[in-house]
Amino acid sequence: MSWLTQDVVDAVCRHMNDDHTEDVAVMIGRPGVSAQVVDLDESALYVRAGDDRIALPWPGPLTSRADIRTYVVHMHTRALQGDK
């Protein structure tokens, strides 16, 4: 996946950890815990919460950088509705 470079991964992780840590905790079903996005690839977004590394699979094919935002919003919305 030529567009999914380490620079893109680093930028997404930095953005999520700087601006959306509470949302990430909700997405893993652990509101209020310290959760950080540590990686992502074509399969999933990876989160560290304490000693746990949690994979949040993308809900569809990851074909562009724009898909990352679309899917993160989708996963967050589903988590708020109680359907991880």
Q: Which domain holds residue 70?
A: 6-78
Place 83 in a pLDDT band, splitting at 50, 70 and 90: confident
Q: What is the CATH number of the domain that holds 72?
A: 3.20.180.10
For residue 34, give the nearest of 43, 24, 19 by alpha carbon. 24
pTM of the full predicted structure?
0.93
Does a structural domain hold residue 36? yes
Residue 73 burial by CB count (10 A; 0-12/13-18/19+): exposed, middle or buried? exposed
Q: 44-49 and 52-57 as β-strands: parallel, antiparallel, unpaired?
A: antiparallel
Does a structural domain hold residue 57? yes
Does a structural domain hold residue 72? yes
d(CA 42, CA 68): 10
Does a structural domain hold residue 49? yes
Does a structural domain hold residue 1? no
Does a structural domain hold residue 10? yes
Domains identified in the chain, total number: 1
Rounded alpha-carbon distances, angstroms, from residue 62 to 33, 39, 40, 46, 51? 27, 14, 11, 14, 27
User: pLDDT digit string (tens) for 22-67?
Assistant: 999 999 999 999 999 999 999 999 999 999 999 999 999 999 999 9
